[in-house]
Amino acid sequence: MSIAEVVREVVTTRMPGQWLRRVVTGASVIVAGAVLVSVAAIFAYGWLQGDRIYPGVRVAGVDVGGLTVDEAAQRVTNALAALTNQEIVLTFQGAELALPVRELEPEWNAQVAVNQAHRVGRSGNLWRDSASWLAARLGLEVIPVPVTYRADRLEAAVRTLAERAARPPQDAFFTVDEDGSLYVAPAREGVGIDLGIARQSVEGALASGRVGRVELAPVTLPPTYTESDLEPLKPRVQALVGSPIVLTLDGESRWMISPPDLARLLTLTSHEGALRASFDRGKLEEYLSRIAGVVVAPAQDAHVRWNGSAFEVVPARPGAVLDVVATVNEFLVRVERGERTIPVQARPASPLITEAMADEARARAQALVDRGLTVRWPNGTRTLRGGELAALLTFEQRRQGENVVGLDVSIDRSTVRSLLEAIAPQIQRDARDAVLRYRDGKVIVVTPEQTGQRLDIEGSLIAFERAVRSGRSAVDLVVANVEPRVTSAMASQIRIRERISAGATYYGDSAPNRRHNVELAVQRVNGALVPPGEVFSFNGTVGAINLENGYKVGYGIIATDGRVQTVPSVGGGVCQVSTTVFHAAFWGGFPIVERNWHLYWIPLYGQPPSGLIGLDATVDTDYGLDFKFRNTTSDWIAVVAWADGSWVHVAIWGTKPNWRVLVDDPVVTNVVKADPTPVTREDPSLAPGEQVVVERARDGFSVAIRRRVYEGDRLIDDVTLRSTYQPSQNVTLVGPQPSPTPTETPEEGTPQPTEATTPVPEATPTPVP
């Protein structure tokens, strides 16, 4: 007995009908219970979300699941706002064009998209909603954001890209050799950009929040005419362009149009479905206009010229004018009759300037040249005569309405401008600002201002032209005043209220010449004033660093033949003053415009109270190395400097801004070990037997210092100063005769200054690993 038969027997003979019904009923109850549980779970899932957007729903790529409508709208708006800092890169046929999103000025309606996202899973149909919930969980519910933008700017970008990469179609056309052999050049399909699809692609990228590369779809551009269209026209075209056409005037040959030129004058037109070849009237008119001066002799006006010693009149000559329209009409009629010689149509033309007009102008110009023209300006004159003056003159038509009634003597503005530009340096005097200084709590005038002057070339051109046209013998050039920016009157208006920042460096152990240079530079920096928005220049304040300005020979660091060394140098020590000014400006938060570091590090400049490793500023007026910073406060500032025999002090005074300065600890890298081997160099400037230690062996390194300046909570400046120093050596300079006992320049000391000179940084540095 098979298994099926056994089962059938059990079911039919051994199971009572009542028991079977119980089994079926039980199974139904279980299924129904499972369904009810599932339905309850689905209801519970929907109920638990409340009024929030269902999990997994995305708007323009932004996950808004679990958010309220307002929260989602804000999140989507922020994400879309960030898109304006990105670019859409349009690509076509290998060419690319970056289009900043902000140039499209997109406006998204995030609220509409978020409302749609909120409706996902809320249709009221349980099965449909549960399917939406599942789709959202799988990342399939993505809502685009309606967007509008500047379509004209997209179209302009597409046109630019098309100019680079698109290829216009080329119609088949006729070409002919000089001997009249006719050919049909083949047509070629073009490739263009489908602007409609381009709009859809870009709009889709903006709506989905996924900007980036957008590949533009190419579209094939068919030619208007193909080879098969032109083949039936070959006999007619051969008759039109197969041989030259000669243009004649009064029976005399004047011009020949070659077969290749004739072919370029053809046009193809369609009439009642039939293609026809003929000469293009517009092309013919343009062609004849170009050659008119060869085909007919135009009238020549009488004119005046300089023969090297005097003006003379060149006589007028009558001529003719080509009647282009009438000639084209004649051309088209005769060609259709098969003729190859075409008489041109011309009419007589009289000159506009007669000999009488020219002679009158000649006489006036000659009188002016003979008399001469004196050019006058403050403290100077120059008289122009003969050929020099003649070269400046020109002649212009005088008109009454549409009629030419004479010839005027005028100037060649380009030549006169060159003359004025040559004179200008003799007139130029730069304005000089008043020199103001802040001393003993008040602003004083050291040197008053001086008004400058310059030649007004445009105004002088007008004056020159008027003098020539009126026949005057002199012209006064126009000179304009140049006002100084800083005047003595400003002294009473400047208010210096409080100390902003300060710096201090030690110079107490300096050699006498170095001490002299330091203190002289301090005197010249002291009291310097800087207007708001302007730049302080150390070199501009102290002047040239040379013997003539009172500086003495000290020692400076130079690089020769790739080697860094310390040598005698005029003004040695001045860099300590520029470094101290740098400290004050750095800790004050002022933007640094120019700063150069020393070739090797001088530890003296890294000492408290204001120094850090890498915080130095070298200057050299001979090599154009300067230290500059900008006054970005709203008031004048004063650089107050003094030296007390031990310390150089610099304080910046003004109106203290609401700045907070944060400075990180210096980060030292790329350390290069110094060679401690002693080095002796002869210095003829030293006395015989004198020895001076000018360098000590110190490691070279690179260093970075980051400074941030905040105004309130807003970052207004963030700069990292980077410096690279070479290793130095143990170097002794000796006079011509050695001495057994060297006199060593003492090591820079580190005594503490008085509290009043210590700048107070407004933040604790944070080390950078």
Which among 328, 269, 333, 256 has a CA at the least distance from the CA of 295?
A: 256
170, amino acid identity: Q
Helices 281-295 and 324-336: angle between axes, nearest 10 degrees: 120
| Low-confidence residues in the chain, pLDDT < 70 | 1-50, 124, 126-127, 129, 132-133, 136, 139, 558-565, 737-769
Asked whether 198 and 151 are in contact (CB, 8 A), the reply is no
3-class DSSP assignment, residue 720: strand
Interatomic CA distance for residues 387 and 78, integer angstroms: 75
Strand ranges inside 194-317, DSSP E? 213-215, 218-221, 245-249, 252-257, 266-271, 274-279, 303-306, 311-314
User: What's the half-sphere exposure (Cβ side, CA atoms, 13 Å) at 135?
Assistant: 14
The answer for residues whose C-beta is within 8 angstroms of residue 63's C-beta and 6 or more apart is 56, 57
Asked whether 260 and 176 are in contact (CB, 8 A), the reply is yes
Cα separation values, 435 from 443, 485, 528, 543, Å: 10, 11, 9, 13
**Confidence (pLDDT) at 612:** 96
Which among 568, 570, 584 has a CA at the least distance from the CA of 516?
A: 570
**Confidence (pLDDT) at 131:** 74
Express each pLDDT in 617-655 by its tens digit.
999 988 899 999 999 999 999 999 999 999 999 999 999
Asked whether 640 and 438 are in contact (CB, 8 A), the reply is yes
Interatomic CA distance for residues 172 and 520, integer angstroms: 86
The answer for residues whose C-beta is within 8 angstroms of residue 615's C-beta and 6 or more apart is 579, 582, 583, 586, 605, 606, 666, 705, 721
Q: Which helix (H) or strand (E) holds 76?
A: helix 69-83
The answer for residues whose C-beta is within 8 angstroms of residue 395's C-beta and 6 or more apart is 303, 304, 358, 361, 365, 407, 408, 409, 410
Asked whether 619 and 613 are in contact (CB, 8 A), the reply is no
Which among 511, 518, 534 has a CA at the least distance from the CA of 579?
A: 518
Which among 172, 176, 59, 71 has a CA at the least distance from the CA of 116?
A: 59
**Confidence (pLDDT) at 132:** 67
**Confidence (pLDDT) at 745:** 47
* Structure tokens that stand for 519 in this block: 């203190």
Interatomic CA distance for residues 762 and 710, integer angstroms: 11
Which among 414, 676, 433, 731 has a CA at the least distance from the CA of 566?
A: 731
- Enter the pTM of the model: 0.55
The H-assigned helical ranges of 120-264 are: 126-137, 151-165, 195-208, 227-230, 234-241, 259-264
Which among 640, 643, 620, 642 has a CA at the least distance from the CA of 574?
A: 620
112, amino acid identity: V
Sign of CA dihedral 512, 514, 517, 521: negative
The pair phi, psi for residue 506, each rounded to 5°, is -90, 130
Helix, strand, coil share of the chain (percent; to 5): 35, 30, 35
Q: Which helix (H) or strand (E) holds 452?
A: strand 452-455
Interatomic CA distance for residues 480 and 456, integer angstroms: 6
Which among 215, 107, 102 has a CA at the least distance from the CA of 158?
A: 215
**Confidence (pLDDT) at 699:** 93
* Structure tokens that stand for 296 in this block: 């007919």
Interatomic CA distance for residues 619 and 231, integer angstroms: 82
Interatomic CA distance for residues 285 and 269, integer angstroms: 18
3-class DSSP assignment, residue 621: coil
Place of tokens 């070959």: 234
**Confidence (pLDDT) at 26:** 56
User: Do you find a cis peptide bond into 348, omega within 30 degrees of 0?
Assistant: no
The answer for residues whose C-beta is within 8 angstroms of residue 13's C-beta and 6 or more apart is none
Interatomic CA distance for residues 524 and 551, integer angstroms: 12
The pair phi, psi for residue 350, each rounded to 5°, is -100, 150
